[in-house]
Each structure stands twice: as C-alpha cells, then as structure tokens.
Amino acid sequence: MFNRFKERLKGFKEAVSTKIQEKGEAEAKKAEAKTAEGTKPALEKSAAVVAKTAESEPLPENNASGAAKTKQSFRSRAKSLIFEQEVVLDEKDLTDPLWELEMALLESDVALPVAETIVASVKDELVGRKKKIRADTGEIVEEALRSSLYKVLSENYFDVDEFIAKAEKPVKIVFVGVNGTGKTTSIAKVAKYLKDQGYSIVLAAGDTFRAGAVEQIEVHANNLEVKLVKHKDGKDPAAVIFDAVEYAKAHHRDVVLADTAGRLHTNVNLMDQMKKIVRVVKPDLLIFVDEAIAGNDAVERARLFNEAVPINGTILTKTDADAKGGAAISISHITGKPVLFLGVGQDYPDLVKFEPDWLLDRLLGS
C-alpha cells in the first residue's frame, strides 16, 4: 500500500538529512577550532613546564605523560562541546529539498493545492528550528512530514460512528458515484460494518438503470441476511428508496443504505434524477464512492459531484492497491468533506473507518 509514495518521499528525507549533517559538520568544525584556540595557551604552558623539568632532572613516568593527558583532556572537552552544538536550517538550505518534495507529491497524484499546502507546512516545521547535531536527522524529517500530512488529513475529520449513534432513526444513507468504482460492494461492506455494531439494516435497490444491478445487491442482501427493498427495472429510483425508508420506519430498522445508478456529472438526466432522490428522501448522508487508484481523477470527480449535489463524505475503494496515495491525501482537502471509509480488500470485513493516524502510518511506512 502506497509503496510508490513512500519511495518518492525517501529522496526528500535523504536530501534534508544530508543538509542537516553538512551544516552540523561545518558548525562542529568551527566549534572545534574555537575550543582548540582557547586551549592553546594552557597546552603551551604545560609543555614549557615539562621541558624545564626535563632539563634539571629525569622526568618521572607519570609526569612524562602529563602533557599528553592534558591535551587529551582538552580534546575530550572540545568533542563534548561539538556534540552539544545546534544547527538552524534557513530557507536557502531547503530550497532544493522542498522542490523535490513538491515533485514527489505531484508525481504521487496529490492535487497541486494540497501539495503546496503540505510543502508550506513542512517548511514552517523545519526552517528556523534548532536541531542538535547528534539528533537523528531522519527522525527530524519524518516528524515534520507526519505533522504536515496530519494537518491535511484531519482538517475535515468526521466520526461516522458517533453520527449514526446519535442520529434519529432510521438513518438514511444514499451512495453515489461513477460506474464501476465498487459502489454496490461498498454498500454491502458498510452494511456488514454496521450490522456488526448491532444496527438493523435495510438495503434499497435504487440502481434501476443498469442491467443486473438489482440482482447484484440482492446477492449481498442474502449473504448478509438483511432486508432488501426493490422494484422492477426501470422504475423511479426515488420511489424505491422512499419505500425502503417507509419500511424501515414501520419495522423499526436503524439504517437504510440506498444504492443508485452510476453516473458522470456530465449526464444531465441522471444528475437531475439524483437531485430528485435528494429532494424526496432527504438523506442524512450522501456518500460519494470512487477508487483510490484513480488518483487525481477521483479527486476531480468528487469535486464536481459535490458542486452538483453536495456530498457529505467519501468512500475510497481499492486503497490496498494504491501505490501513490494521492487521492487519499487530497480528496477531503479539495471537497471540504471527510473521507469516511477506505476499502482495503474484496471481502465484507475489508472496510476501514477513516482515521488520520491509521492512514499516516501506512503512508510513511511506520
């Protein structure tokens, strides 16, 4: 997961680490020279005493090594002082590494505004901060990256568990997205996730447009042993979802999960249909589903859907196959709406509630 992203970040970490080490070595040499200059008179005095003693009488063995011991003592002090030195990185030191970081982010399909935000944050974390020469430079860079990425990933965080627990029942959740992104499978995964928490579920077969769509969600309903409300193909999807909500109310079910036809934002008829569903059903959550591996395309589609029919959050599928990580990093920042779940496999339990720390650990290889 995110292997290419981790590989691209390696160059930035190495560049900054090298810069800290180079600057630290330069500062250390200055400190060593300064310390050596300060100890020179004392060493000269010690040497003179040894020479004078040697002229008048044989030098005892313990005195013979006195000058050498004194010199060694001063060297130890100088070395200790060097290790206590601190370096301060300035903007000029980081010009090239930060450019490498921005290129690494863009090549990992991070959206440009998000890449610029991360780079600016990393710059703030590193420029003007004192760093011990003996410090682990790789750890310094890792902390700066983690802090900057965390700010982006957590800015629109939303606890979906808390929302569902407190919302009036039945909670109405409608899923939208383009064709072939795993929307229906994601609905089944969410059904499994919520059922495991003790909620009663009703599925609504609102994709009456695609051949075989009703049969597909019916298989999931049977596997999960949950109620499915369906109409014949070609019927009004708003009516199907409305009937599912009414069934849930009558039978005291907790959550309605509604499938809809896959559509592009450019399909005027289907987008009008989506707006009608929203008017009729008044969903508590409208969730956009797309593939993490689609990168910037997924981010752009989410933005356009959000403009047409404001979404409440996103599910990214196939996150386990995503080598770049750009969509997972960018989509919340661009839409202003949270990522709710990440699909990490093909089976029903392979759904992870979005948590910034969980994603960060995988993005940075922790």
Backbone angles phi, psi at 77, to 5 degrees: -65, -40
Do 221 and 128 lie in a common domain?
no
The token pair that represents 88 in the structure block? 């301060």
Residue where one domain finishes, among candidates 124, 154, 184: 154
AA letter at 130: K
331 inside domain: yes
- Distance (Å) of CA 93 to CA 97, 133, 149, 334, 356: 8, 16, 22, 30, 30
Look at residue 132 in the predicted model and tell me its pLDDT. Answer: 61
What tokens does 108 get? 């990992």
The DSSP result for 107-164, as a single string, is HTT--HHHHHHHHHHHHHHHTT-EEETTS-HHHHHHHHHHHHHHHHHHTT---HHHHH
Mean pLDDT of 343-364: 93
Residues 139 and 197 in one domain: no
Does 168 lie in the same domain as 150?
Answer: no
Determine what percent of the chain is predicted with pLDDT higher than 70: 81
Do 328 and 354 contact (CB within 8 A), yes or no?
no
217 and 337 inside one domain: yes
**Residue 323 and residue 326: Cα distance in Å, rounded?**
9
| pTM, two decimal places | 0.81
Q: Is the pLDDT of residue 156 over 60?
A: yes
At residue 58, the pLDDT reads: 56
Q: How far is residue 281's CA from residue 7's CA, in Å, rounded to a whole number?
A: 46
Q: What is the CATH number of the domain that holds 50?
A: 1.20.120.140
- Taking alpha carbons only, the member of 246, 196, 236, 240 closest to residue 218 is 240
What local confidence, expressed as pLDDT, does residue 21 receive? 75
Q: The domain spanning residue 286 has which CATH number?
A: 3.40.50.300
Determine the 3-state secondary structure of 314 from DSSP.
strand
Mean pLDDT, residues 137-154? 87
| Whether residues 86 and 136 fall in one domain | yes
Provide mean pLDDT across the span 283-290: 96
Does residue 360 lie in a domain region? Answer: no
Q: What are phi and psi of 210, to 5 degrees?
A: -90, 130
- Between residues 288 and 179, the one the model is more confident about: 288
Do 341 and 237 share a structural domain?
yes
Nearest to 333 by CA among 40, 114, 101, 16: 114
Taking alpha carbons only, the member of 279, 212, 187 closest to residue 242 is 279
Task: Indicate whether 361 belongs to any domain.
Answer: no
Short-list 331, 328, 339, CA closest to 362:
328
Average pLDDT over residues 179-196: 95
- Please say if the pLDDT value at position 7 is more than 90: no
Reduced 3-state DSSP string for 234-249: CCCHHHHHHHHHHHHH
Structural domain includes residue 147: yes
Whether 104 and 164 map to the same domain: the answer is no
In this predicted model, what pLDDT tens digit does every residue of 17-67 receive, in sequence order? 787 777 777 766 776 677 666 655 555 555 555 455 445 555 455 555 555
Distance of CA 291 to the CA centre of its chain: 16
Q: Please tell me the predicted confidence (pLDDT) of residue 82.
A: 45
Same domain, 268 and 138: no
Among 174, 255, 191, residue whose Cα is nearest residue 225 = 191
What number is the average pLDDT over the span 226-251?
93
Mean pLDDT, all residues of the chain:
84
| Structural domain contains residue 365 | no
Mind listing the pLDDT tens digit for each residue in 77-91?
Answer: 444 444 455 667 788
Q: How high is the pLDDT of residue 79?
A: 47
More confident residue, 76 or 31: 31
3-state DSSP call for residue 97? helix
> What is the C-alpha separation between 53 and 59, in angstroms, rounded?
7
Same domain, 120 and 240: no
Tens digit of each residue's pLDDT (9 = 90 or more) over 310-342: 899 999 999 999 888 999 999 999 999 999 999
Domain count, the chain: 2
pLDDT at 55: 56
Report yes or no on 363 lying in a domain.
Answer: no
C-alpha to C-alpha distances, 56 to 1, 47, 65, 326, nearest whole angstrom? 78, 15, 17, 81
In the predicted model, what is the mean pLDDT of residues 160-169?
96
Q: What is the mean pLDDT of residues 263-279?
A: 85
Please check whether residue 364 lies inside any domain of the structure. no
Quick one: pLDDT at residue 227?
97
Asked if the structure places residue 362 within a domain, the reply is no
Residue after which a domain boundary falls, among 97, 124, 154: 154
Once rounded to an integer, what is the mean pLDDT over residues 125-134? 70
Q: How far apart are CA 298 and CA 296, in angstroms?
A: 5
| Final residue belonging to a domain, choices 101, 132, 154 | 154
Same domain, 136 and 200: no
261 and 306 housed in the same domain? yes
Residue 232, pLDDT > 70, answer: yes
- Domain that residue 118 falls in: 3-154
Check whether residue 50 and residue 72 sit in a common domain.
yes
